[in-house]
Structure 1
Amino acid sequence: MPVYGNLSLVQDALTRVVAHTEIPWRMVLVDDASPDTETVLFLRNWASRHGAHLIENERNLGFVSSANLGLEQAMLWPDPVVLLNSDAFLPEAWAPRLLRPLLEDPRIASVTPLSNDAELGSVPSPGLAALVTFDEAQALDRFAQNLNGRAQVVAPTSVGFCMAMSRTALELEPSFDPAFTPGYGEEVDWCQRLRARGFSHVYVPDLYVAHLGGQSFGQTQKHILIRRNSALLAKRYPRFDVEVCMFLRRDPLVTARLAVGIARAELQRNGAVPIYLGHSMGGGADIDLQRRLATDVARVGAGLVIRVGGNYRFTIELHHSQADGTLCVTSAGTEDWDLVERLLAPVSRRELVYSCAVGDIDPVVLPELFLSLKGPEDRLTVLVHDYFALSPNMTLLEENEQWQGLPEPTHASSRHVARRPNGRAVPLVEWRNAWRPLVDRAERVICFSSAAKMLFAEVYKDARIEVCPHNLHVAVPALTRPAPGAHPVLGILGNLAPHKGAAVAERLARACRNSGCEVVLLGEIDPAYRLPLPARKHGAYGVGDLSRLAARYGITCWLIPSLWPETFSFTTHEALATGLPIMVFDLGGQAEAVRAAEARGAPVALLPLGLAEDPQAILTRARHLSHWGFARETLRAPAASGVRA
Structure 2
Amino acid sequence: MPKVDIVIPVYRGLEETRSCIESVLATTAGERLVLVNDCSPEPEITQYLRELDAAHDRVLLLENAENLGFVATANRGMAAGPDADVLLLNSDVEVANDWLARLCTAAYSQPKVASVTPFANNATIMSFPNFCEDNELLFGLSLAELDHAFARRPLEGNLWPIPSGVGCCMYLRRDCLEAVGLFDLETFGRGYGEENDWCQRAHAAGWTNYHLGNCFVYHKGGVSFAAEQSPRIAAAMEILDDRYPHYHSTVQRFIGEDPARIARTEVLFDLVASLARPKIVAISHKLGGGAQQHVDELARYYAGDALFLQLTPERSGKSVALSIFSAGERLKDGLQFDIDSEYDELVQLLRELGVGHVHFHHTMGLPPRLWLLAEALDCRHDLTVHDYYLVNGNPTLTDRDARYVDPVDSDFDQRCATHYPLPEGVTASLWRENQQLLIGAARRVIFPSADCARRFCHFYDIETPVVAWHPDYLLSQPYPAPQWSFDGGRPLKVLVVGAISREKGADVIEAVANALAKEGIEFHLLGYAYRALSEQVVTHGPYDNGRVYELVGDIQPDVVWFPALWPETYSYTLSVALHMGLPVVVPQLGAFVERVAGRPLSAVLPWDTTTADWRTFWLAVRDDRAFPGLPQVSSEPPGCAIDLQFYPQTYLSGLTGNAARLSDDTLARFARKLHLGLPQLSRKERVLARIWSLARTPLVAKMVSVVPFRVQRAIKRRLSSRPMHEIIR
- TM tier relative to shorter chain: 0.5 to 0.7
Question: In 2, Cα distance between the equivalents of 1:399 and 1:309?
Answer: 27
1:294 to 282, 291, 300: 300
Counterpart in the other structure of 1:194? 202
1:116/1:129 contact within 8 Å kept: yes
Counterpart in the other structure of 2:603? 604
> Residues 251 and 293 from structure 1, CA distance in 2 versus in 1: closer, same or farther, beyond 3 angstroms?
farther
Counterpart in the other structure of 1:479? 483
Q: How many residues align?
A: 554
Shift of 1:452: 0.7
1:132/1:210 contact within 8 Å kept: no
Superposition map of 1:493-572 within 5 A:
495-512=499-516, 520-523=523-526, 526=529, 528=531, 530-531=533-534, 535-540=536-541, 542-543=548-549, 549=555, 559-571=561-573
Shift of 1:605: 4.4
Question: In 2, Cα distance between the equivalents of 1:492 and 1:307?
Answer: 29
1:89/1:210 contact within 8 Å kept: no
1:275/1:305 contact within 8 Å kept: yes
Counterpart in the other structure of 1:456? 456
Identity of aligned residues (%): 18
Counterpart in the other structure of 1:76? none
Using the TM superposition, name which of 127-136 and 395-404 deviates more.
127-136
> Residues 163 and 381 from structure 1, CA distance in 2 versus in 1: closer, same or farther, beyond 3 angstroms?
farther
Q: In the TM superposition, what whole-angstrom CA distance separates every residue of 1:585-613 from its partner, at most 9, and x where no partner exists? A: x432234446x34xx6767344264x5xx
Matched, 1:203 2:207: no
Q: Looking at both structures, which has the greater relative contact order when contacts are Cα pairs under 8 Å and sequence separation is at least 6?
A: 2
Counterpart in the other structure of 1:330? 331
Counterpart in the other structure of 1:263? 270
1:443/1:464 contact within 8 Å kept: no
Question: In 2, Cα distance between the equivalents of 1:536 and 1:396?
Answer: 27
Using the TM superposition, name which of 485-494 and 615-624 deviates more.
485-494
> Residues 382 and 178 from structure 1, CA distance in 2 versus in 1: closer, same or farther, beyond 3 angstroms?
same
Question: In 2, Cα distance between the equivalents of 1:430 and 1:7?
Answer: 67
* SS of aligned partner of 1:452: helix
2:319/2:367 contact within 8 Å kept: no
Shift of 1:450: 1.1
For the pair shown, which has the larger CA radius of gyration, 1 or 2? Answer: 1
Q: In the TM superposition, what whole-angstrom CA distance separates every residue of 1:389-443 from its partner, at most 9, and x where no partner exists? A: 3343321222222332449889973645456xxxx87665665566545444443
1:615 to 584, 602, 611: 611
* SS of aligned partner of 2:331: strand
Q: Pairwise CA RMSD of aligned residues?
A: 5.9
Matched, 1:121 2:126: yes
Counterpart in the other structure of 1:324? none
The one-letter amino acid paired with 1:392 is G
Question: In 2, Cα distance between the equivalents of 1:510 and 1:7?
Answer: 66
Matched, 1:348 2:348: no
* SS of aligned partner of 2:591: helix
Superposition map of 1:136-285 within 5 A:
137-142=147-152, 144=153, 149=157, 152=160, 154-157=162-165, 170=176, 173=179, 176-177=182-183, 188-197=196-205, 200-203=208-211, 207-211=213-217, 237-238=240-241, 246=252, 250=256, 252=258, 253-267=260-274, 271-279=277-285, 281-285=287-291
1:581/1:603 contact within 8 Å kept: yes
1:115/1:123 contact within 8 Å kept: yes
Shift of 1:562: 1.2
> Residues 317 and 408 from structure 1, CA distance in 2 versus in 1: closer, same or farther, beyond 3 angstroms?
same
* SS of aligned partner of 1:588: coil
Question: In 1, Cα distance between the equivalents of 2:194 and 2:492?
Answer: 68
Shift of 1:382: 3.0
> Residues 415 and 442 from structure 1, CA distance in 2 versus in 1: closer, same or farther, beyond 3 angstroms?
same
Question: In 2, Cα distance between the equivalents of 1:496 and 1:592?
Answer: 22
> Residues 69 and 37 from structure 1, CA distance in 2 versus in 1: closer, same or farther, beyond 3 angstroms?
farther
Question: In 2, Cα distance between the equivalents of 1:630 and 1:222?
Answer: 51
Q: Where do 5+ consecutive residues of structure 1 fail to align?
A: 15-27, 42-59, 72-81, 322-326, 638-645
Shift of 1:64: 1.8
Q: In the TM superposition, what whole-angstrom CA distance separates every residue of 1:131-185 from its partner, at most 9, and x where no partner exists? A: 645565344433x45x9937946443367957597x9x9599376559699x998
Question: In 1, Cα distance between the equivalents of 2:102 and 2:502?
Answer: 59
1:273/1:350 contact within 8 Å kept: yes
Shift of 1:69: 0.9
> Residues 506 and 233 from structure 1, CA distance in 2 versus in 1: closer, same or farther, beyond 3 angstroms?
closer
Counterpart in the other structure of 1:587? 589
The one-letter amino acid paired with 1:191 is C
Superposition map of 1:24-103 within 5 A:
35=53, 63-65=77-79, 68-70=82-84, 89-90=97-98, 98=106, 102=110
The one-letter amino acid paired with 2:482 is A
The one-letter amino acid paired with 1:173 is A
TM-score, with structure 1 as normaliser = 0.63
* SS of aligned partner of 2:523: strand
